[in-house]
Amino acid sequence: MEAGHPPGDRAAERLRDLPSVERLAAGLDAPHARAVAAARRVIDARRAELLEGREGDADLGARARAALAAAARPSLRPVLNATGVIVHTNLGRAPLARAARDAVGRVAAGYSTLEYDAAAGTRGSRHAHVEALLREVSGAEAAIAVNNGAGAVLLAAAALAGPGRSVIVSRGQLIEIGGSFRIPEVIAQSGSALVEVGTTNRTRLDDYGRVLDERTGAILRAHPSNFAQSGFVEEVAIEPLCGLGAPVIDDVGSGALAPVGDEPTVRRSVAAGAALVCCSGDKLLGGPQAGLLVGRADAVARARAHPLARALRIDKLSLAALEATLRVHTDPEEARREIPVLAMLAASEQELAARAAALAEAIGAPASVRRDSARVGGGALPLLELEGPVVVVGGHAPDALAARLRAGDPTVVGRIARGALLLDPRTLRDEEIGPAADAVRAALA
C-alpha cells in the first residue's frame, strides 16, 4: 500500500484514471465498431476488478488487443482429434471423405438443383438426390433422408402409428442415449401410445404377439447403441419380429452398411421385411449428420407425406455430403479406403506404429510410445476395445498440459489415462502429425 493513501482513495484514483472507451478504441488496429466493443469489455472488466479490490493486468491496450483476437477466433473450428475415439460426438462425429468435402464446397459456392428438375424445368424433390443411392446400398424399395437419426425415429413412429395408435417396445429397449434422447419420450412426441412388453433383460416373441391388436401401429426395435447387456438376457431377432405381421420400425443406430463387429446392418433389417429401417448418417456410415429411413415403398410414402417430414428435412450442404458419401459406398473396397471412419477402424498395426513413432520423434522428450485401448464412440460397438500404440507425453501435470493443448491453435484434444496424457495416432491423419507435434512442443514450452 502506498504511504498516505487509504485503500479507498487509491481505488477511486485508479477508477478516475481509466481511459474512455473511445480513447482506448482509438489505439486498436480494428474497425471502429469492433474496437469499441473490445474496449468497452476490457474497461468494464477492469472497473469490476478495482471495485472488488482485485489486482489485474493494468495494460488495458494489451488486454483489448487480446479481446479482439479472441472475438475474431471462430467458436466452431477444426480440432486435431488425438483421443482415439473414432466417432467422437463432441468433436463432430465422423470426418467426411474427400468426395463429400468437395461436394459441400461446390454446392455452398452458389445455387444448386436442390428442388429443381433441370431436365423438365420444373420443381423437383430434394429426396431424389439420394433415394436411388440409398436403395442401392440398402436393398430397400424406397428411402428418404431427414436431418438426424432421432428425427428419423420420430418421423417413422408418427407416420406408421400416431394419435389413436400404439407402438410396441420391449422394456429392455426403452433406452436413453446421448443428449437425453429417450425412446418413451420420442413415442410420446409422435402422438402414439407406448405399449411395453417383456422385462428389462428378457423379451420373447410371444410377449409381442399377446399385445397385438387393431390399435397397433408398429413394433419398434431400438438398438441399445452405447451399452450392452450380458448374462441372463434374451431378445427377439429382426426376422421373427417381422413375421408377426405388424409393421416393424428397426432403429439400427449406427448405419453400418457392411458388417462391422456385431453392429446390426441396414441390409439385414431390410431383407427381413422391416417396414422402416432408421439409422444415422454420421456414425459408421461416415457421412454428415442425417437420419435415414429405408424400407417398404408404402411405409416410406407415408413418412414422406407426414407434416413432420418438412420440419425434419435435410439441408442442401448435408444432402450434398450424403450423396457423395453414398456414392463411395457403392464400391465397398473404395469405401474402406476413402471413408475416414472405416479406414480408422481398419488401420493396421504397422500403420499405427509408424504414425506413433513419427509423432513421438517430432515431439521429442518427454514423449514415448506405449500400448493402450480406445473406443469406437458415437454409440457404436460399446464393448469393442481398439488396442494399439499411443504417444505418452510425460513429465508434466496431464490436466494442465491438456488444457494448454485445448487452448492452442490448432486445438489438440487427447485423453488422460493412468496419470498421463495420451495422444492416439488412430484418429490423426498423416498430415496432422506435424501440426500436432508443433502444438505439443508449444504447450510444453
pLDDT at residue 401 tops 90 = yes
92: which residues sit within 8 A by CB, 6+ positions away?
A: 79
pLDDT score at 69: 87
pLDDT at residue 367 tops 80 = yes
pLDDT at residue 3 tops 60 = no
User: Model confidence at 1, in pLDDT bands (50, 70, 90)?
Assistant: very low
pLDDT at residue 124 tops 60 = yes
The residue-averaged pLDDT of 414-436 equals 95
65-79, 134-148, 279-293, 345-359: the lowest-pLDDT one: 65-79
CA gap 295, 153 in Å, rounded: 13
**What does the block give as the cell for 114?**
436442390
% pLDDT > 70, the chain: 96
User: Model confidence at 7, in pLDDT bands (50, 70, 90)?
Assistant: low
User: Model confidence at 178, in pLDDT bands (50, 70, 90)?
Assistant: low
Distances (CA, A) of 87 to 251, 272, 315: 18, 28, 22
Cell 447403441 belongs to residue: 225
Distances (CA, A) of 371 to 200, 321, 399: 37, 35, 20
The residue-averaged pLDDT of 156-171 equals 96
The reply to whether the predicted model has a pTM over 0.75 is yes
232: left (phi over 0), alpha (psi -120 to 50) or beta: beta
138-147, 210-219, 374-383, 418-427: the lowest-pLDDT one: 374-383
Closest CA to 341 of 288, 262, 285: 285
CATH of domain 79-89+342-444: 3.90.1150.180
- Identify whether the C-beta of residue 299 lies closer than 8 Å to the C-beta of residue 144: no
- Identify whether the C-beta of residue 389 lies closer than 8 Å to the C-beta of residue 360: no
120: which residues sit within 8 A by CB, 6+ positions away?
A: none
Give, in words, the CATH class of 98-338: alpha beta
13: how many CB neighbours lie within 10 A of its CB? 12
Closest CA to 314 of 147, 94, 76: 147
Domain ranges (residues) in the chain = 7-70, 79-89+342-444, 98-338
pLDDT at residue 378 tops 80 = no
The residue-averaged pLDDT of 72-81 equals 92
Looking at residue 53, the DSSP 8-state letter turns out to be T
pLDDT at residue 109 tops 70 = yes
pLDDT at residue 2 tops 50 = no
CA gap 292, 266 in Å, rounded: 10
Residue-by-residue DSSP string for 79-138: EEE-S--SSBGGGTBSPPPHHHHHHHHHHHTS---TTEETTTTEE--TTHHHHHHHHHHH
Q: Any bridge partners for residue 169, and if so which? A: 196, 220
pLDDT score at 8: 59
pLDDT score at 319: 98
pLDDT at residue 181 tops 80 = no
20-34, 270-284, 346-360: the lowest-pLDDT one: 20-34
Which amino acid makes up residue 433? I
CA gap 324, 97 in Å, rounded: 8
- Identify whether the C-beta of residue 181 lies closer than 8 Å to the C-beta of residue 291: no
